[in-house]
Amino acid sequence: MRKVLLVRFGEVYLKGLNRSSFLKILTDNVKKAVKGTGASVWLADSRIYVAEFEDMDDIVNRVKKVFGLYSVSPAYEVDKDFEEISKACLEVCKDLSGTFKVLARRSDKSFPINSMDMAVELGGRILDANSQLKVDVHKPEHKVCVEVRDHAYVYSGEIMAAGGLPMGTGGKAALLLSGGIDSPVAGYQIMRRGVRMCAIHFMSPPYTGELAREKVVTLAKMLAAYSGGMRVYMVPFTKCQLEIHEKCPEELGTLITRRFMMRIACKLAKDFGAQALVTGESLGQVASQTMEAIGCTDEISDIPVFRPLIGLDKIEIIRIAEKIGTYETSILPYEDCCTVFTPRHPMTRPKKSGMPKAEARLDIDALVDEAVAGTEKLIF
Ligand code: ATP
Ligand code: MG
């Protein structure tokens, strides 16, 4: 009897001709996730298997974060021998209480006992061995699953994995990462679709401090754990902000700031080879996220801008942030460059046609080039 992790994949099933290349990438990504544990990983029978490891909890934690996976089940692998299967069932059930049902499946039809008989006999043995358990075939609390394939596998319970598509199958994008709650979640949502991501952060020292920078680095590292690494561009943004503050109408300050972020992000996206930008905007959340304001920032970008949170409420975004572990860091109270020069009365219905005039006193190209030239590249 040895411990194995059964790994089920999700949407990869929908892939037609590309399926085998998706599965190869997915299997490689599981291998990367367990690197250093000594575990072996293989693909067989529309499943991925992980075996030869010590610590099941550690393996589950690593594997369930891999994008493209639907769920995992810690299981026992035994020989195709009924007594061995029975022993594994008792082991799986030894700490369970409440109601249960045995679900047996025999894809190897040469196995001498059929699924129904196996379920009945195993159910009886489990009842004899564990007085805390009762049978309920309709709504059992525990499903004890037995699968007879190349070996026999016995398990109870299924842990949901990250879902999405395998990392590396969806191209590349650049995330505008602030220190707030929204942008890490936006990055996660797009990474989850198999997209490799770099992060771009705008900082305005001395108005934003070392702690704000550290916070963004921490968030980037958290995201990197899902994607197997991440490049982060730290953009010096003080000069742009000061010039905007001095030379542009106050009520358009935030919007013009965001247009500069887009211009600079588009250039850095090229450096990374990104085909799209990603932001954490949500419709109507603040003045710069009304439809009109988004129209004014969107027109700047020469590549598509993805806003995966556009239709979510803050409370829904927070729930995802908690799930992926970024929330506690995001709420640390360090200032963002956007908050430093916030206008008292930002315009909520700006017109695209008014923007060139509002930006007329700025040397846009020089400001953008200087910010790009001063950008620091970090790798996690
Ligand atoms: P968040 O919670 O992610 O900070 P927000 O609701 O505070 O978002 P804004 O400050 O208007 O909204 O920013 C909208 C989006 O612009 C952010 O989600 C992020 O993608 C990007 N952004 C804002 N500030 C920065 C920054 N300093 N560096 C990089 N991107 C930024
Ligand atoms: Mg913000």
Into how many domains does the chain fold?
Answer: 2
Ligand 1 centroid to residue 55 C-alpha, Å:
39
Share of the chain above pLDDT 70, in %: 100
Asked if 89 and 148 sit in the same domain, the reply is yes
Q: Which is nearest to 133 in space by CA: 149, 122, 118, 117?
A: 122
Q: Give the residue, by CA position, lying nearest to ligand 1 atom 24.
A: 178
pLDDT tens column, 97-109: 999 999 999 999 9
- pLDDT classification of 227: cutoffs 50, 70, 90: confident
| Coil/strand/helix, residue 358 | helix
Question: Cα 125 to the chain's mean position, in Å?
Answer: 42
> For position 232, what pLDDT does the model report?
98
> For position 56, what pLDDT does the model report?
97
166: in domain: no
Q: Phi and psi (nearest 5°) for 36? A: 95, -10
Peptide bond into 74 cis (omega under 30): no
- pLDDT classification of 255: cutoffs 50, 70, 90: very high
Asked if 146 and 227 sit in the same domain, the reply is no
- pLDDT classification of 269: cutoffs 50, 70, 90: very high
148: in domain: yes
Average pLDDT over residues 144-170: 95
Nearest 10 degrees: CA dihedral of 25, 31, 34, 35?
-120
Asked if 115 and 193 sit in the same domain, the reply is no
Number of Cβ within 10 Å of residue 312's Cβ equals: 21
> For helices 253-272 and 364-373, what crossing angle results, to 10°?
50
> For position 343, what pLDDT does the model report?
87
H or E segment at 98?
strand 98-106
Q: How far apart are CA 196 and CA 199, in angstroms?
A: 10
Asked if 358 and 217 sit in the same domain, the reply is yes
> For position 25, what pLDDT does the model report?
94
Return all residues near 269 (Cβ < 8 A) that are at least 6 apart.
173, 174, 198, 200, 276, 277, 303
Average pLDDT over residues 307-330: 97
> For position 339, what pLDDT does the model report?
73
pLDDT surpasses 90 at 271: yes
92: in domain: yes
Average pLDDT over residues 82-109: 96
Q: How far apart are CA 168 and CA 220, in angstroms?
A: 18
> For position 281, what pLDDT does the model report?
97
CATH number at residue 112: 3.30.2130.30
Asked if 112 and 226 sit in the same domain, the reply is no
- Which numbered ligand comes closest to the C-alpha of 279? 1
> For position 52, what pLDDT does the model report?
96
Asked if 131 and 248 sit in the same domain, the reply is no
> For position 43, what pLDDT does the model report?
95
> For position 46, what pLDDT does the model report?
86
Asked if 272 and 373 sit in the same domain, the reply is yes
93: in domain: yes
In the DSSP assignment, the letter for residue 179 is: S
- Which numbered ligand comes closest to the C-alpha of 282? 1
Asked if 47 and 139 sit in the same domain, the reply is yes
Per the DSSP assignment, residues forming a β-bridge with 378 are: 232
**Alpha helix stretches (DSSP H) within the chain:** 19-33, 56-63, 82-93, 115-129, 182-191, 210-227, 238-247, 253-272, 291-298, 314-324, 327-330, 337-340, 355-358, 364-373
Ligand 2 centroid to residue 213 C-alpha, Å:
13
pLDDT tens column, 168-205: 999 999 999 999 999 999 999 999 999 999 999 999 99
- pLDDT classification of 228: cutoffs 50, 70, 90: confident
- Around 281, how many Cα atoms within 13 Å sit in the side-chain half-sphere? 22
pLDDT surpasses 90 at 334: no
* C-alpha triplet 337, 343, 348: angle, nearest 5°: 110
Domain that residue 341 falls in: 172-379
> For position 69, what pLDDT does the model report?
96
Please identify, among 102, 133, 160, the residue that sits at the C-terminal boundary of a domain: 160
Ligand 1 centroid to residue 180 C-alpha, Å:
7
pLDDT surpasses 90 at 32: yes
- Which numbered ligand comes closest to the C-alpha of 202? 1
Please identify, among 132, 160, 188, the residue that sits at the C-terminal boundary of a domain: 160
Average pLDDT over residues 138-148: 97
pLDDT surpasses 80 at 349: yes
pLDDT surpasses 90 at 314: yes
pLDDT surpasses 80 at 336: no
**Ligand 1 shell residues, CB under 6 Å:** 176-178, 180-183, 200-202, 261, 279-281, 285-286, 288, 336-338
> For position 337, what pLDDT does the model report?
72
pLDDT tens column, 351-373: 999 999 999 999 999 999 999 99
Asked if 82 and 219 sit in the same domain, the reply is no
For the CA of 181, the closest atom of ligand 1 is: 2
CATH number at residue 223: 3.40.50.620
**Buried/exposed 252-266: b ≥16 CB within 10 Å, e otherwise:** bbbbbbbbbbbbbbb
pTM above 0.75, yes or no: yes
Ligand 1 centroid to residue 338 C-alpha, Å:
8
Q: Phi and psi (nearest 5°) for 303? A: -125, 160
> For position 7, what pLDDT does the model report?
98
Question: Cα 27 to the chain's mean position, in Å?
Answer: 17
Range of lowest pLDDT (52-61, 254-263, 310-319, 343-352):
343-352
- Around 12, how many Cα atoms within 13 Å sit in the side-chain half-sphere? 29
Ligand 1 centroid to residue 132 C-alpha, Å:
53
Asked if 239 and 367 sit in the same domain, the reply is yes
